[in-house]
Amino acid sequence: MYVYYNESDNSIPAASVHYQDLVRQIMYPVFSLTAGTAATIIWYRLYIIPGAAHCSPNTLQPNGPFPQTNLQVLLNWVEKGVEPTTLNATCLAGTEKGKNS
């Protein structure tokens, strides 16, 4: 499972990092922070999308990239064992439109 949080999301409070830590604490209560985190990221990843708004790029930062292939990334991880380290993002507007980062 992976979760991505849009850093400038005005609909969802910035609780995703805290939530991931709570998951770690509940699933691995006797592990150290380092060991619990290592065990958690095997199956739970959190990605923070800089400047993105709720489910979309931020209109105040039109050149900001936004992930477009989330489902494919998840399918590749689950079905092919390709662990995601980053999310590929595409600029959808502005002077960088169409460029990946």
Cβ proximity of 8 and 21 under 8 Å = no
CA distance 76 to 57: 24
pLDDT category at 101 given cuts 50, 70, 90 is: low
Give the separation between CA 26 and CA 32, rounded to whole angstroms: 12
Interval 67-80: pLDDT, tens:
888 889 889 999 99
Its pTM surpasses 0.95: no
Hey, what are 37's tokens? 């985190």
- Using an 8 Å Cβ cutoff, are 24 and 37 in contact? yes
Q: What are the CB-based long-range contacts (under 8 Å, 24+) for 71-76?
A: 73/2, 74/2
